[in-house]
Amino acid sequence: MSAPKKVSIIGSGNWGSAIAKIVGNNVNHFDAFDKQVKMYVYEEVIDGQKLTEIINSQHENVKYLPGHKIPPNVVAVSDVVEATKDADILIFVVPHQFVKKLVQLMSGNIKSTAIGISLIKGVDYNEGGIQLISKVIGDALNIEISVLMGANLAPEVADEKFCETTIGCRSKEDGKLLKDLIQSHNFRVVVVDDVETVEMCGALKNVVACGAGFVDGLGLGDNTKAAVIRLGLMEMIKFAEVFYSGSKLSTFFESCGVADLITTCYGGRNRKVSEAFVRTGKSIEVLEAEMLNGQKLQGPETAVEVNNMLKARGMEDRFPLFTAIHHICVGEIPASQMVDCIRNHPEHILSKL
């Protein structure tokens, strides 16, 4: 029998801490996993005490997930290399802005046989276009990376309220292993092999959620919000068709697709901050600092990266909602003009007959 697989979690925000709660419990119920889980924590000082010390003594992330106990077998480590060097399974759950720096530190210091799974909702942009975060990680570490995306607001997952999630994984064997590691009584997992589409859904829904927040801030009502969500879904599908040929339409009807889009447009941080952006007139950056307790927004940055890709291909007019959201986030047009930007959406012009 092979040795139990060691698990490491890279990230300890509210989502990382919620996943640590599930994984820390699950490893105790399967012989396939080592009973200790290491969690990389960006070191901060809270009331004169290091956050890692608080987590390891109180078994609670008092800054990012207060009121929820993390299993005592989850050990907080402030050095990412120390946290990951012996791991067989790497769970990535940090804001996408920090990925490159972390994987550079990890490169050459992890097991060549390790596998990873990314819970990170965002994309990277370089001169060649958009690059999925799983590819950024996989290329840097030379390991296989799966993804997990779904309608999974971290506080509700931590409260153990029922929800679903989607794992995108190319290997049936790895998919089963990851499902055992992550699924719980109230956190149900479906595994599909359409990895790129699963991940793209997780990134693009945050852009649409900004649009939903603008609608709420303008007081335009539920009908307008529903239209933005529907048009957002259609642009997500079209984006995947254009830039990731081979994507499966059925994937958009998993938790990673329409379900995550709906919950994010009603309950996520991108919606919340975007509403405040309209109501207060403050910048996205100021509101992020004021409202998110050190957490990062994904939607506005993803909108920039998506717009760079669309502009490079001369395709902004084919994605008027994504384009309008980007222009609003960077202050180029007021939020009040968003509806005008989508009034003649391609979806309204093309005949369905």
DSSP string covering 172-184: HHHHHHHHHHH-B
CA separation for the pair 33, 268 (Å, rounded): 32
Q: What's the 3-state SS for 25-85?
A: HHHHHCCCEEEEEEEECCCCEECCEEHHHHHHHHCECCCCCCCCECCCCEEEECCHHHHHC
Bridge partners of 187, per DSSP, are 163, 184
205 is catalytic: yes
Structural element, H or E, at residue 206: helix 195-218
* Cβ 111 vs Cβ 61: under 8 Å: no
Selected catalytic residue, list 5, 21, 205, 225? 205
CA separation for the pair 179, 164 (Å, rounded): 12
CA separation for the pair 343, 322 (Å, rounded): 14
* Cβ 132 vs Cβ 123: under 8 Å: yes
160 closest CA partner among 66, 23, 22, 29: 22
Catalytic center residues: 205
